[in-house]
Every structure is written in structure tokens, then in C-alpha cells.
Amino acid sequence: MKKILLVVLLASGLFSQTFTFSAIPDQDETKLQKRFSKLALYLSKELNVDAKFIPIKSYSASIAAFRNKQVQLAWFGGFSGVKARQIVPNSIAIAQGIQDREFCSYIIVNAKTGLEYSKEFPKAIQNKTFTFGSKGSTSGRLMPEYYIRVHLNKAPSEVFTKVGYSGNHTKTIALVQSGAYEVGAVNYKVWNSALKAGKIDTSKVKIIWRTPTFPDYQFTAHGDLDATYGKGFTQKLKLTLLNLKDKEILDSFERSGFIEAKNSDFDPILSVGRQTGLLD
């Protein structure tokens, strides 16, 4: 019924402008398309705009699309959000998932390594093959690399016999489960979701360590939205996200709700980016 109503509104011209948004491609594309198509319907209705989700193929491309104003809003990870806001003056973080205040990564291994879960950093991962997710991922690269450097006093290239970048968390799990890589770093939410869906064989792949928590995903908006869509639009957009109660949409995000975010919330990510040399 909602979709029919939206089509009628679009056809009648009641939506005055197009509002485009995107997201980092952190997991299976089909899942992301389903999630953000639902969000587009919600934003269109609440904001009186023609909201359209634009899928992006890489983390760097999502930042470029935001920089070039191909999208006005983006669902970034902590690290990609910091980088985007450095590039685009006056852009602001406006909302994050409740769970995103204290996010974490898992270090996972192929069962054949014989390694087991420990609260202590697993130094035995040295001299094994290792895959990160995307090079621009917070939970799949930045934070795991930071803790590898802190605990082993070496860069990943000096720690492991081979270092790879899977591109997203779903692929990282598959690569470690298959044995293509012995060890990997993965977003804990993607792991938990795949486990719940029965897509992980725990006889072949397991968690051996979890990082301390850090701030991660957030919605970042261009600073000129009010000039484009009218005074007060940015605040209305923020409140629309904060007031989102649709269980189907929240479940697709694997969040219980959204809370206010601001740029300074991600200062720890900015600091780690500089310490690892991954951010100028």
C-alpha cells in the first residue's frame, strides 16, 4: 500500500525535488539494496522529496560521490565519514545507530589454525595469511590494523605472510571459512547476522578475539542542504532519522534505533587514522 501511495504522489508531482543518498558497500549488495530501498520510501514520505538510493561499488567511490554532490546524504563507516567530512566543508554527522556508539571488530580464524578465543590479543596470528575487508573500512581495516600495530609493534605486511583486502565483510567471512586466508578481521554485526542466517559453519571458522569498542557508522549530510531544500531541512532530516520507528527498516539496519551524532564523536577515529598513517 505504501508503495502504491508513493507512486501516486510522484506521479502527481507532490514531491518537489530529488534527494539522493548512498552508503558504503560493506556487505552483500542485495542486502544493502533491500535496506536502503525501504529507507528511500520512508524519507520520501516524511520529507516530501523524491528520495533515491544510489548504490556505490567501493568505499572510495562513496566518498567521491559525496564530494561531487552526486549524493546529499551518506551512510558512512566511522573512518569513511571522517575522510568525507575533511574533504567536504561544513558537512556534518547527524545520526548514528544506538549500537554504533560502541562498535567492535572480530578477529576470526580458519579452524585448521587451531587457535581459540582469548581475551588477550592473539599474538599467534603472526606468520599466517590475513585478510582485511575494504581498505577504507573502520571495522574491517582501520581498527584491526591499529591493534595489530599496538600489540605486535609491526605493520601488517611485516606480521603476516600474505595480506589481502576482500572488499567487504561478507567476503572476509567466506574467505576465512574456505581456508583461502587463515585469519581475518570482520564487523561484528555482519558476523552475527550471517551466523543467525545459518551462513557460517562454526566447525570451519571461529572468533578468537574482539577489539575494544569504538564509534562507527553514521549518517553524514552536506552542509548546504538548507540552501538547496529550504530552511530547516537538515534539522527535519535529522529528526526524521531519529524518529524512525519502522521495525522492518530498523531490522534491516540491525539497529534498535537512531540517536543524534556530531562530528566530534568521531575524534577517536580521526586520531587512530593519523596514528596508523592511514589518514593525513
Boundary-marking domain end, from 145, 178, 210: 210
Same domain for 88 and 174, yes or no, is no
Same domain for 153 and 179, yes or no, is yes
Same domain for 112 and 78, yes or no, is no
Between CA 164 and CA 166 the distance in angstroms is 6
- Mean per-residue pLDDT for 81-104? 97
Mean residue pLDDT across the chain: 94
Which of 3 and 30 is assigned the larger pLDDT?
30
Same domain for 110 and 199, yes or no, is yes
Same domain for 153 and 59, yes or no, is no
Report if residue 278 sits inside a domain: no
Q: Inform me whether the pLDDT recorded for 8 exceeds 70.
A: no
Same domain for 120 and 257, yes or no, is no
Host domain of residue 15: 2-100+215-267
136-151 per-position pLDDT tens digit = 999 999 999 999 999 9
pLDDT of residue 7: 46
Q: Inform me whether the pLDDT recorded for 15 exceeds 60.
A: no
Q: Inform me whether the pLDDT recorded for 119 exceeds 80.
A: yes
Q: Using a pLDDT cut of 90, give the percent of the chain over it.
A: 92
Sheet bearing 258-260, strands edge to edge: 50-53, 18-23, 73-76, 218-221, 92-97, 258-260
Same domain for 96 and 229, yes or no, is yes
Which of 72 and 28 is assigned the larger pLDDT?
72
Task: Please report which confidence band the pLDDT of residue 10 belongs to, taking 50, 70 and 90 as the band edges.
Answer: very low
Same domain for 109 and 200, yes or no, is yes
Boundary-marking domain end, from 210, 234, 259: 210
Contact 106, 53 (CB under 8 A): no
31-35, 47-51, 59-63, 218-222: least confidently modelled range = 31-35
Q: Inform me whether the pLDDT recorded for 203 exceeds 90.
A: yes
pLDDT of residue 31: 87
Same domain for 188 and 225, yes or no, is no
Same domain for 85 and 110, yes or no, is no
Tell which residue, 240, 241, 221, 259, has the closest CA to residue 99.
259
Between CA 50 and CA 84 the distance in angstroms is 24
**pTM score above 0.85:** yes
Q: Name the β-bridge partners of 103.
A: 214
pLDDT of residue 27: 86
Report if residue 277 sits inside a domain: no
pLDDT of residue 225: 97
Q: Inform me whether the pLDDT recorded for 1 exceeds 70.
A: no
Report the Cα 70 to chain-centroid distance in Å.
19
- Mean per-residue pLDDT for 36-48? 97
CATH number at residue 20: 3.40.190.10
Between CA 75 and CA 95 the distance in angstroms is 9
Same domain for 242 and 109, yes or no, is no
Question: What's the number of domains the chain is made of?
Answer: 2
Report if residue 12 sits inside a domain: yes
- Mean per-residue pLDDT for 100-122? 98
